[in-house]
Chain A
Amino acid sequence: MKLKYSLITRRTFLNTLFGGWLFAFFAGTFSALMKFAFPTLGKEPDFVVLNRKDFTDLANNSVKRFPWGGVVGLYFKKADGSVLALKGVCTHMECNVAYKPEERRFYCACHNGWYDENGKNISGPPPKPLEVFTIMEEGEKLIIAKKGVKVELPKA
């Protein structure tokens, strides 16, 4: 069929075809390369299950670390004996925080940031308080979960 009028010239058509093909080729190649270069990242857990025995005889006014996904969680027994679980990562630049028992505060050495006993940021650059988790006990298990997350244990 011969068209009387055409919106594009043969040259434009071929250029678009060729250019589009080139674009598709390089986009495909590049995306394959990027797919390999970017690893499948793990995501932060909703909860972790720990052994209760490991944490029962913790002294007052001290912390014990536990793994929270790839980062550190802190199981903290205050001076008055109540317990708290926090994410031990500074909200400023993601350094790990340390507990200073004599001052009863959490300290981040990277940029001199301070948090109080409840994880509230009180001095230095941290913009937000430390993340506080919920603590649950189920028989021998100690479950530490994100606030507001429904914990469904896999049936063993």
Chain B
Amino acid sequence: MNCPKLKNWLEERYDWEGMKRFAKRKLVPEHRYDLWYYTGGITLFLFILQFLTGMLLAFYYVPHIDFAHKSIIEIVTKQNLGWFFRSFHHWGSELCIAFLFIHLFGTLLLKSYRKPREFLWATGFILLGVSIFFGLSGYLLLWDERALAAVRVATGGAGNFPFIGGFIKAFLRGSIDVTGDTLTRFYAFHVAILPIITLLLVGLHLLLMQYHGMSVPLSLEKEKRREIPFFPNFFYKDLMVWLVVLGVLTTLAVLLPPEIGAKADPLAPPPENVKPEWYFLFLLETLKLFPGAILGLNGETIAILMVSCAILFFFLIPFFDQRSARGEKSPLFTWIGVIYLLYFLTMTVVGYLS
């Protein structure tokens, strides 16, 4: 592509050459852990795909208690390629959350969160929370038996939070139970509120990453290391990885379209052996460990408090880990990270198998 006229036109208005120099100057370190650098890019790519397919699905989805379930069945059975885009959006969300977790634990174990990147960690962590809420709210839009049970449990669990639990529950449900009001509310969360928060946070996350540059693991910081230009070397590699992810996602979407259960009936008991999405299993299993009452107090409340404390500690790790902030080895926090990871994996597997 060589268009001198267009180039001139741009050059007269913008510092085109300067931008090109800037893009060429941006370097990405190359070392034996650089595989982890791709996880963030993959998540970004999946976010973009979710935004695109979500916009399309919104053309046909009807957020009303009487029509929601039927409208999805019509998308799947009547619209051109509707089955594919619904399946794609479903698998996109699963992969998105999976890669968010991979990205999170990679960042944790390589201690990329350490000074000066605390806010990168914080924005990413909030994005994970937002994404899980995305998953839950999107899930309810299906309005089938399983979705109803899942959202009842999730919002009910939030209701066990001391003092503010009642308010959270009322805010999420918009009514005393999960009803049509909850559906419209979750629709608003899913298509309006959360996307804007996500855009802002992703923008901030990328800006901070641009500002700080890529983090190099502590153990390799002292070594002499090679660096490759972001553009085009790293960017091309990114594209190749994205293509593989797109291939995997498309394959999953085509071969394993998600089921649509029977329409939710607020008066019916939940289906037997109902299970939430896999990323809620570790929470569910944790709550199961606690008895109904501990020393006369509500066991659920204690469980929720302890889980919240553990998550809060996780969130604040960059501020607690002073050794790595000084650039020293910090085995304590490596162990803490490994424990968190093992706990998450074990409880997810236990929840999946039980």
Q: Which residues of A contact B (CB under 8 A)?
A: 32-33, 35-40
Contacts and interface: CB of A to CB of B under 8 A. Distances in A.
A38 B56 CA distance: 10
Contacts of A36: 56, 79-82, 84-85
Contacts of A35: 80-81
A40 B59 CA distance: 13
B262 interface: no
B63 to A, nearest CB: 18
B345 interface: no
B235 to A, nearest CB: 14
A36 B59 CA distance: 9
Given A32-B84, A35-B81, A36-B84, 4 more contacts: A32-B81, A36-B81, A37-B59, A39-B80
Interface in B77-136: 78-82, 84-85
B250 to A, nearest CB: 10
Among A32, A36, A39, find the residue whose CB has the most chain B CB atoms closer than 10 A: A36
Contacts of B80: 35-36, 38-40
A69 to B, nearest CB: 18
Interface centre among A38, A39, A40 (most CB of B within 10 A): A39
B51 to A, nearest CB: 12
B220 interface: no
B52 A33 contact: yes
A33 B51 CA distance: 13
A128 B263 CA distance: 50
Which 10 A-B pairs give the minimum distances between C-beta atoms?
Answer: A35-B80, A36-B81, A36-B85, A35-B81, A36-B80, A36-B56, A37-B56, A32-B81, A36-B79, A36-B82
The secondary-structure label for the interface of chain B is loop
Contacts of A37: 56, 59
Interface of B: 52, 56, 59-60, 78-82, 84-85
Contacts of A33: 52, 56
B46 to A, nearest CB: 15
A16 to B, nearest CB: 13
Contacts, number: 22
Contacts of B85: 36
Nearest to B80: A35
Contacts of B52: 33
A37 B59 CA distance: 7
B79 A39 contact: yes
Contacts of B81: 32, 35-36
A40 B84 CA distance: 16
A37 B84 CA distance: 13
A39 B56 CA distance: 11
A32 B88 CA distance: 12
A36 B80 CA distance: 5
Contacts of B56: 33, 36-37
A32 B49 CA distance: 14
Contacts of B82: 36
A39 B80 CA distance: 7
Nearest to A36: B81
Nearest to B52: A33
A72 to B, nearest CB: 25
Contacts of A39: 60, 79-80
B257 to A, nearest CB: 15
Contacts of B84: 32, 36
A39 B71 CA distance: 14
8 contacts: A33-B56, A35-B80, A35-B81, A36-B79, A36-B85, A39-B60, A39-B79, A40-B78
Nearest to B81: A36
A37 B82 CA distance: 9
A29 to B, nearest CB: 9
Contacts of A38: 80
Nearest to B57: A36
A135 B190 CA distance: 51
A37 B81 CA distance: 10
Nearest to A15: B1
B72 to A, nearest CB: 14
A38 B59 CA distance: 10
A37 B56 CA distance: 6
A32 B56 CA distance: 11
A107 B80 CA distance: 40
Nearest to B239: A22
A15 to B, nearest CB: 10
